[in-house]
Amino acid sequence: MAPRTRRSVSRMSAREVICVDSEAQTSSFGSSPLYKATKILFQTKKGADVTFILEQKEILAHKSFLIARSTVFEAMFIGAMASTDSHPKISLNNYIANVTDFETFLEYLYTDQIDINLQNVYAIFKLAHLYDISSLLEECATFLQNNIELSNILEISTFSYLYQESCSLFNDSLEFICKNAMKVFYLPEFNKLDATIVAEILKCDNLKVKENDLFDIIYEWAIEETKRHDLEVTIRNIRSPRATPSRKRKYFEF
């Protein structure tokens, strides 16, 4: 199923891309002289006064734009611990984003517009969280919420579990799992799910699954979890994240 979209979708890639814009952009900003000027400044890098180094590539930017959009950049460039270098060079780790994704993120800070797709949404989300860009974080969360489906539900729930304080995406993923429990539980990836996520799923009161089926499913998951920890598969070593059915207490320790 094609990803659902919010607001407007780029005609060039309607199946995978969401074009994010603010209310101001929807009316006029996208074609305003200010937008065009900031877009050109981002592209030409004229007057750039900070360099990010990622994957051995130098990415130029303007501190004033970054400071205006992010409290993290504000502290980095003009805070009490800011560098005295007039043109600092900042090395970035590529575990969060690659060059393309970071440049896409920077362009949003200049223009307030961005194309979020299934390939870059997780990287953009992490950058928005890291640099405290709440508007962009919300857009990424909304994109994922609108595109939750059986094929990606475990990936989204695992990812969003880490960001529960920032958005409601994890709760949305749990709601989907509860409504589609049997389909989710029989996904090949379910037995690889982390114990913390399984525990959260089992806390749900409205799981659409019979108790006996749930026991069998969690028992199979627990066997795989035991193997992941290099333990012998014995009754003593098999652990369940939560005791629900009474018969489970005969096999699992808590």
Long-range pairs, 241-246, Cβ under 8 A, ≥24: 241/195, 241/196, 241/198, 241/199, 241/202, 242/199, 242/202, 242/203, 244/202, 244/211, 244/214, 245/211, 245/212, 245/214, 245/215
Least confident of 9-13, 79-83, 156-160, 208-212: 9-13
pLDDT of 21 above 70: no
Q: What pLDDT is recorded for position 227? A: 86
Least confident of 101-110, 135-144, 238-247: 238-247
pLDDT, one tens digit per residue, over 146-195 is 999 999 999 999 999 999 999 999 999 999 999 999 999 999 999 999 99
pLDDT of 30 above 60: yes
What are the tokens at 74?
């504000």
Q: What pLDDT is recorded for position 105? A: 98
Q: What pLDDT is recorded for position 236? A: 52
Q: Whose CA is closest to 164, among 186, 137, 188, 193?
A: 137
Q: What pLDDT is recorded for position 11? A: 29
pLDDT of 60 above 60: yes
For residue 164, give Cα distances in angstroms to 77, 157, 160, 188.
29, 10, 6, 25
pTM for this entry? 0.81
Topology of domain 1-147, per CATH? Answer: Potassium Channel Kv1.1; Chain A (3.30.710)
Angle at 147 between CA 161 and CA 31, to 5 degrees: 110
pLDDT of 244 above 90: no
Residue with tokens 């979020």: 116
Q: Identity (one letter) of the amino acid at 99? A: V
Q: How confident is the model at residue 232 (pLDDT cuts 50, 70, 90)?
A: low
Q: What is the mean pLDDT of the chain?
A: 85
Q: Within a 10 A sphere around the Cβ of 33, how many other Cβ atoms?
A: 7
pLDDT, one tens digit per residue, over 88-115 is 999 998 889 999 999 999 999 999 999 9
Domain boundaries, the chain: 1-147, 151-254
